Structure 1
Amino acid sequence: MFNLPQKVIQDIPKYRENLEKFLSGEMKEAFFRGIRVPWGNYSQRGGMFLMSRLRVPAGLLAPSQLRAIGEAAEKFADSKLHLTTRQDVQIHNVSYENSAKIIEYLANFNISPRGGGGNTVRNVTSCYLSGICPHENVEVHKTACGLTEYLLCIDDTYGLPRKLKIAFSGCEKDCDFTGINDIGFVAMKDGTFKVLCGGGMGAKCSVGRVLQEGVSRGDVGYVVRAVMNLFNKYGDRKNRNRNRLRFLIQDTGWERFVELYRQELKRTKDAEYIVLREEDEAGLPPADGQPSADIGQGDAGWDAFVQYNTGRQKQQGYHYVQIRIPFGEIDARTLTGLAEIAEISPAINFRTSRRQNLIISNVPSSMVYPVYKKLQGMLKDYLYPETLLDIVSCKASTTCNLGICNAIGMAPEIVKKLRKVQPGIDKLKDIRINVNGCLNACGHHPVGDVSFSGMARKVQGRTVPFYRVHMGGRPDAENTKLAQEAGVVPARAVPGLISDFVSSMPENTSVDVQAWISDGGRAVMEGLVRKYSYIPRYEEDRSYYVDFGRTDDFSLEGLSQGECGAGVIDMIESDIESAGASLTMAKENGFNPGEIKKAMLYSAGALLIVKGVDPKNETDTFVSFVKRFVDTGVCDPEFRSITGVYNAIVSGGGHGKEETWDYANRFYNEVKRIYSTMDSNFNFPVKEGAFP
């Protein structure tokens, strides 16, 4: 299991200190955003509350951790939780004040949101059955946890050009979607890893290519560090539309990138000693007994449960139970209730999956029925995980600033419609549906068999929710197939469209469903898109102009800038903006010395963050600026005396107020000029004529 590093624990008081500065008005929101987002705290739509994204390395949770997350959601938020497609758990509707309390409370249970957002290495995922799967080549969850512990201790991982995603699959089946991650590790039969690089999803998707084969577990840390070093060195930090690793590879060229990687890997091995911790896990005790042959007789729910929700582990006498958590939505009391299932057997643990479900592992085979009865008393809709009814959905416009459509409101309507179709057993098992509120792919629409991504269009002068229809996605490491667009339909038509599509599928059990979807199914879907593309006038049927889960007319109100990439740039621009505002305020108030001081302090501090400087006080801010920008020739030598000018203002002496304001204004404009020359790697050119 994962151990939260001491470095993360030691950094928690600093988060609280900055939070208190923000709450008191001492720190601006834009600057604090650059601090809270790398701590996994995102602003929800509307700006009143936060979402705290908890990392769950490899998706592994002990019963005590599952209970603690539920308790935190109930104590410090409104009990609403969401399981994500990266095996994280999100606590929603968190007040700013309580964000620190969640961090502090959960640290006692080796859980943290650190690195859950911003330009960081995100949650390291693995096959959700790692360690219990009969088919795995390597128990990759151990490597994923060890790698997470290593990365969380490195400062570089919190200031990348953009987020970096890493995944581990335990065999060639690629259950962890390595081909759509920045770095993916596929365990081979000989116990080594095939490494993929450059995959990713979003408005511009890419499938990773094979970077290296035959990588031992002992080299995993070096491989990740080398790729991360290249990303840090060459990645574009300023162009947010092209600053993912896959764009760096595209701009560099694959062959050149591989060459740079090999050079960097050698340098890394020469310069560092990286050993990932791997915990020796205690074996499971012998499991005695089997379920009675007549158990559950006449219970149709039990029959479905055994067929769809259970599987044999590689450990003899044990099963796992997969619980479908519809659309990843769960409340705190249900989570804490599920943790109590561990009382049935001391070996029980929990796992989160890429399809937003929960897995109970290490259930003695003789105790599967008692687990079923417990679930039956707690949950209403938990059967049929990883089937047609197990729809993946992002949070969409309910809480996300980038969400266009309410995908998570539409998903239940699709399920209702599909239940009426009563698809045959083969259809039920073989189709995966993913829905997403926009193109950013948090709902993994690029790898769904049939999937939808939200958009908006104008119809007769009104804004209407629509979805792009995608087909044929299939995770398969470097051979991953990305879903192709098959048309656009109004949101209100999607449940009917998918219902008709499933009804049209062949009943012949010998037909490969995925092959049919990619081949003949496409023509069927395109015909249905034409059928469902019509939108009646607003006066005839207003429902088309209202999104699912809402009663008001559809609009894009609340849509705003996303915070996934919040970090250094936000903090720099916040300080520069604050400096300008203080100069304006000073001039409007008779060249007020207090505002002039603020302007100078904000200007001097704005760029220090890219030099890794955290000034201890005001004097240190100016001394550090002179040392790193004036003495190096980046800044005009006129400002070598800035510390003295500032101290003169503090003491009440120095130049006249207007003259001092002019100096502060020149300094502010010089800092803006320097910032404009900063390249994508936070480097600055020497100013022409700075040195004689």
Structure 2
Amino acid sequence: MYQYDEIDQKIIDERVAQFRDQTRRFFDGSLSEEAFRPLRLMNGLYIQRQAPMLRIAIPYGLLSSAQLRMLAHVSRKYDKSYAHFTTRQNIQLNWINLEDVPDILADLATVQMHAIQSSGNCIRNTTSDHLAGICEGENDDPRIYGEIIRQWSTFHPEFAFLPRKFKIAVSAAKEDRAATQLHDVGLYVVKNEAGETGFEVLAGGGLGRTPMIGQTIRPFLEKRHLLSYLEAILRVYNLHGRRDNKYKARIKILLKETGKDELTRQIEKEWARIRERLILSDEEIARVRARFTLPGYDDTADDGAAALAQQRHDNPAFDAWVTHNTVAHKIKGYRAVFVSLKAPGIAPGDITDRQMEAVADLADRYSYGELRVSHTQNLVLADVKKSDLFPLWEALTEQGLARANIGKATDMICCPGLEFCSLANASSIPIADAIYSRLDDMDYLYDLGELRLNISGCMNGCGHHTVGHIGILGVDKKGEEWYQITLGGSSAAQAALGERLGPSVAKEEVADVIEILLKTYTELRTENESFLDTVQRTGIAPFQEKVYANH
């Protein structure tokens, strides 16, 4: 993984000292709340419903075991001994004291972590595929370009006060695991007819009040022009993006109001003016690539295949975990292992300090000291030998982290909702728990197959409800919590927005409605047909009929 050089570390240390002074001046009254607000947002600090919340950046979702141990330490010392992983490969502390934030940032800086630009109207943390570098069929390792973008965008003086936040994702595999089409800019690493590697550039994706799928504005961009083209996009957006209405300030609205062809023309015009001033050289790509060294894989790792087969035969629970929580690795004898953060009674994405320390130890023992954060709020140990799967499963089971439900209905994406967020209209976590209680039969869960169920507590869509196979959105009706249901969304390669099922339902009815939807699916599906495929084939009418039959 990328390691800071002397310049990187100096920049982070200086920012910690700067924010410590800004916080001191805020408390002694020499810095007003209005003046302090943009400064704290630049350092990932929000004021939420219950307490300040600090969002810590995890660039392209990659963590070392030392960094995870530090996160455990700060959650225990400064918070309530747990933290929350988000859909954008960040981690949040929800119960901190404002006066402790400079000390938290100083602790994080010792392990090359920070909260810079994880909030505010700037270029946010660049996200990527959580299986980057280990999956078959990649055109390149997208994390390399995520790191290059991170270095270019951090403290970029021109883009510190954009019309609105700006999110970039990079993916390089056929299967899109980074929701690339749902970002302000999405970058697919592709090859042209000559076999040259470059980027398909998308713009205008996003969720929230006006969800949109990103559109291709340049089918192929040479690698050398990556940063100049991003700069051209951001310059056009910064100049023309709306600042009179924060709900219409994202680049997706600019694209819709301007039109893709005209916006692309403006970007290309600006790019032609600046592109020779900002060249991404082969030498710079090679320099960053050299920081992403492969582990010393064991050539004999596949020797334990027979033992693994016997372990799976003898232990059905272990067999289910291997089937549902591990995926293929491009190196023979290895698997990538998902650590599920989705269990009954636990907010999706939450993890305790002790669990973090345990996973850090397991990463050292079984996965070369590294792990990843997935877009779906789980963790990944990317480089596990097949012969180590059984002891790893036993250790995760002891920590309550071996729930064999990855990609299933209980592997929900869920925002913090009304319990924590000052923007929320309705609860999310209790809804997730109520649904979970209906799906505790694992055989039934596996029979349902792949099913993405996403929950948001407001229109901002942090739970990605609009792209869930089943989406649930909390709305306020005269002080009461109600929920809109959508069907047929997807954040995968063929991204789609869900279609609204019908009138919203009361809070106490949501779990019943989900149960009806799932039962209807099992009645309608053909052999081996997924929930999403069934909805796309039948439309939502059969589901509407069942849900609203008694209304």
1:485 aligns with 2:500: yes
Provide the secondary structure at the position in 2 that maps to 1:469.
strand
Shift of the alpha carbon at 1:146? 1.9
Is contact 2:367–2:384 with CA below 8 Å preserved after alignment?
no
Residue 323 of structure 2: which of 307, 322, 335 is its match?
A: 307
**2:296 maps to 1:285:** yes
Bigger mean CA deviation after superposition, 161-170 or 265-274: 265-274
The Cα offsets for residues 22-58 of structure 1, whole Å up to 9 and x where unpaired, read as 1122222232111101211111104xx2111111111
Following superposition, the deviation at residue 297 of structure 1 comes to 4.3
Q: Kindly indicate whether residue 113 of structure 2 is the aligned counterpart of residue 111 of structure 1.
A: yes
Q: Deviation at 1:163?
A: 0.4
SS of the residue aligned with 1:81?
A: strand
Structure 1 CA distance for aligned equivalents of residues 428 and 549 of structure 2: 22
1:614-653 to 2 correspondences below 5 Å: none
String of CA shifts for 1:185-231, please: whole Å, max 9, x gaps.
11224432211011111111111111112223332222211111112
Change (3 A) 1:296 1:422: closer
After TM superposition, give the deviation of residue 381 of structure 1 in Å: 5.6
Q: Are 2:236 and 1:230 aligned?
A: yes
Q: Which shows bigger deviation, 304-313 or 244-253?
A: 244-253
What are the Cα deviations for residues 52-108 of structure 1, in whole angstroms up to 9, with x where unaligned? 111111100011111111111112222221110101111120100111111111011
SS in 2 for 1:511: coil
- CA distance in 2: counterparts of 1:373 and 1:381, whole angstroms: 8
Native 8 Å contact 1:395 1:408 kept in 2: yes
Over the aligned positions, Cα root-mean-square deviation in angstroms equals: 2.0
Deviations 1:149-197 (A, max 9, x none): 2211412232111100101121232221111110001122443221101
Question: Contact between 1:12 and 1:103, CA under 8 Å: does it hold in 2?
Answer: yes
What amino acid is the match of 2:532? Q
Q: How far apart, CA to CA, are the structure 1 residues paired with 2:21 and 2:111? A: 22
Distance 1:220 1:211 in 2: 14
Q: CA deviation at 1:345?
A: 3.7
Paired residue total: 525
Normalising to structure 1: TM-score of the pair? 0.73
Distance in 2 of aligned mates of 1:272 and 1:130 = 26
Matched AA of 1:405: A
* 1:196 equivalent among 199, 202, 225: 202
Please point out which of 421, 432, 442 is paired with 1:400. Answer: 421
1:496 Cα deviation after fit:
1.1
In the aligned structure 1, how far is the partner of 2:363 from the partner of 2:499?
43
The aligned runs of 1:466-505 (5 Å cut-off) are: 466-476=482-492, 480-487=495-502, 488-505=504-521
- Residue in 2 that maps onto 1:391: 412
- SS of the aligned residue for 1:130 comes to coil
* Structure-to-structure mapping, 1:216-255, within 5 angstroms: 216-255=222-261
Question: Residue 202 of structure 1 contacts residue 440 of structure 1 at CA under 8 Å; is this kept in 2?
Answer: yes
Within the candidate set 447, 468, 483, 1:448 is matched to 468
Q: Which has the larger radius of gyration?
A: 1
Letter in 1 for 2:22: N
Q: 1: CA distance between counterparts of 2:316 and 2:228?
A: 52
1:348 touches 1:360 (CA, 8 Å); kept in 2?
Answer: no
CA deviation after TM superposition for structure 1 residue 390, in Å: 0.3
Paired residue type of 2:534: W
The code of the aligned residue for 2:266 comes to L
* Aligned-pair CA distance for 1:515: 2.6
Specify the alignment match of 1:370 in structure 2.
391
Is residue 428 of structure 2 the alignment partner of residue 414 of structure 1? Answer: no
Report how far residue 360 of structure 1 moved: 0.6
- Summarize the alignment of residues 431-446 of structure 1 with structure 2, pairs less than 5 Å apart: 431-446=451-466
Q: Which runs of 5+ in 1 are unaligned?
A: 534-692
TM-score normalised by the chain length of structure 2: 0.91
SS of the aligned residue for 2:94 comes to strand
State the Cα distance separating 1:483 from its structure 2 match: 0.8
Matching of residue 12 in structure 1 with residue 22 in structure 2: no
Distance 2:143 2:128 in 1: 6
Partner AA of 2:45 in structure 1: N
1:214 maps to which of 205, 210, 220: 220
Q: How many Å separate the matches in 2 of 1:118 and 1:350?
A: 27
Q: 1:87 aligns with which of 86, 89, 112?
A: 89
Q: Match for 1:447: what amino acid?
A: V
CA distance in 1, matches of 2:441, 2:316: 18
Instruction: Report which stretch shifted further, 410-419 or 281-290.
Output: 281-290
> Partner of 2:170 in structure 1?
168
Q: Does 1:27 align with 2:31?
A: yes
Distance 1:394 1:350 in 2: 23
Residue 357 of structure 2 aligns with which residue? 336
CA contact (8 A) 2:217 2:260 kept: no
CA contact (8 A) 1:72 1:102 kept: yes
Map 1:542-561 onto structure 2 (within 5 A): none
Query: Within 1, Cα distance between the matches of 2:164 and 2:76?
Result: 33
1:423–1:502 CA contact under 8 A, matched in 2: no
Instruction: Determine if contact 1:397/1:403 at 8 Å carries over to the other structure.
Output: yes
Q: Secondary structure at the match of 1:505?
A: helix
Partner residue in 2 for 1:353? 374
Partner of 1:644: none
Cα displacement (A) at 1:523: 1.9
Question: d(CA) in 1 for partners of 2:198 and 2:129?
Answer: 16
Q: CA deviation at 1:239?
A: 2.2
Compared CA separation, residues 420 and 372, structure 1 to 2 (3 A): closer
Retained in 2: the 8 A contact 1:41–1:117?
yes
CA contact under 8 A between 1:2 and 1:110: conserved in structure 2? no
How far 1:389 moved relative to its partner? 1.4
Say if 1:318 and 1:364, in contact at 8 Å, map to a contact too: yes
What one-letter code is carried by the residue in structure 1 that aligns with 2:349?
A: G
Q: 133-142 vs 194-203, which deviates more?
A: 133-142
Q: Name the SS of the counterpart of 2:310 in structure 1.
A: coil
Instruction: State the secondary structure of the residue aligned to 2:288.
Output: coil
The equivalent position to 2:532 in structure 1, one of 496, 504, 514, is 514
Match of 2:180 among 178, 181, 194: 178
CA distance in 2, matches of 1:532, 1:420: 27
Any conservation in 2 of the 1:2–1:57 contact (CA below 8 Å)?
no
Shift of 1:529: 3.6
Distance 1:386 1:476, change over 3 A: closer
Deviation for aligned residue 1:348: 4.0
Within-5 A mapping of 1:35-74 = 35-46=39-50, 49-74=51-76
Kindly state the Cα deviation for residue 531 of structure 1 after the two structures are TM-superposed.
4.5
Does the C-alpha gap of structure 1 residues 14 and 492 become closer, same or farther in structure 2, counting only changes over 3 Å? same
The one-letter code sitting in structure 1 at the alignment partner of 2:544 is: E
Does the residue aligned with 1:442 lie in a helix, a strand or coil? coil
Structure 1 segment 540-689 matched on structure 2, within 5 A: none
**Secondary structure in structure 1 of the residue aligned to 2:505:** strand
Q: CA deviation at 1:14?
A: 1.4
Tell me the CA shift for residue 424 of structure 1.
6.1
Say which SS state the counterpart of residue 118 (structure 2) adopts.
coil
